[in-house]
Amino acid sequence: MYASRYDPVMNSAVSAPHRPPRRPHAWLAALLLSQLLVAALWWRFGARWGLPAMIASHLPFWWGTLAPGSALFSPVLRRLPTSERVVWLTIDDGPSDDTRAILDLLDAHGAKATFFVVGERARARPELVRAIVERGHGIGNHSQCHPSAWFWALPPRRMRAEIDEAQRTLTALCGRAPRWFRAVAGHANPFLAPALRAHGLARVAWSARGYDAVLSDVTRTIARIERDLAPGAIVLLHEGARHGRNVEMLARLLQRLDALGYRTVLPEPLEVA
């Protein structure tokens, strides 16, 4: 069973809209209409008008795919709906060699986080996933293989497999299915929404990040995050980066959160009709 000591009441959880995609193919109508308009312009005015119109008609779909906060293809949670001085810590890409040190740091500060884990990494180190759950933290789906270079371009079958396999892996390890999903690099092409809907997964982006997956400068990274802190902020963090300083970055961030009077919370999913 899913063994968790987390008490949403004692930890002052914040209710957050949980919005799995309801109409995952709605974008098709917009695409077809836009291309009909392009065809009409091309037929009436030729390539001089038709070509720029075709390029312009594709720009929203590129934006919808590559912009982490875009809700063009599926709803996405960018911050918690609260005026309380609380933040949601989210930690991507684990489990890793950093996981146990991160858990100890969170315990030392009385903090909670959601770990968006990669299915194949969880399967290889199940004891770390169980440790996350046993210490009262959340688990989210972050794909099965984390294809960071190509997630934005995955075709329907491969996209579905990434979500399905990770969900099966994490459900087997945790005893219940994750309810939140973090897209790899934040990218969400049109084929993601049907896979999320099949599992009742709601997509989560972020409102504060320090690029800690690539930057090794702790001071600069924390300054970037602090600049975007606000009530209800969703903070994007990583573990296991090649520079080896993610644990140090989290330690500094937790110190700053304490100094600034912020508490960490786990969101309590609020179903949306």
Confidence tier at 238 by pLDDT (50, 70, 90)? very high
- Give residue 272's pLDDT: 60
Predicted local distance difference test score (pLDDT) of residue 10: 36
Q: CATH assignment of 73-271, given 3.20.20.370, 3.40.50.920, 3.40.50.2300, 1.20.140.10?
A: 3.20.20.370
Q: What is the dihedral of CA 248, 250, 256, 261, to 10 degrees?
A: -150
Is the model's pLDDT at 4 over the cut of 50?
no
Higher pLDDT among residues 250 and 29, named by residue: 250
- Considering the candidates 18, 92, 142, 212, report the single residue annotated as catalytic: 92
Mean predicted lDDT score pLDDT of the chain: 90
Q: How many percent of the chain have pLDDT more than 70?
A: 93
By the 10 Å C-beta count (0-12 exposed, 13-18 middle, 19+ buried), 44 is classed as: exposed
pLDDT of residue 3: 36
Rounded Cα distance between 240 and 255, Å, is: 21
pTM score, whole prediction: 0.88
Domain edges within the chain: 27-66, 73-271
Annotated active-site residue 109? The verdict is: no
Q: Look at 15 and 248; give whichever has higher pLDDT.
A: 248
DSSP codes of every residue in 165-206: HHHHHHHHHHSS---EE--GGG---TTHHHHHHHHT-EEE--
Tell me if residue 157 falls in helix, strand or coil: helix
Q: Is the pLDDT of residue 2 over 80?
A: no
The residues that bridge with 114 in the sheet, in sequence order, are 90, 138
Mean pLDDT of 4-21: 65
224: its two tokens: 């970037």
Q: Catalytic site residue 212?
A: no
Average pLDDT of the segment spanning 189-205: 96
Among the options 137, 142, 146, 238, which is catalytic?
A: 238
* Residue 1 confidence (pLDDT): 33
Q: SS in 3 state form for 48-69?
A: HHHHHHHHHHHHHHHHHHHCCC
Give 60-105 pLDDT, tens digit per residue. Answer: 778 878 889 998 889 999 999 999 999 999 999 999 999 999 999 9
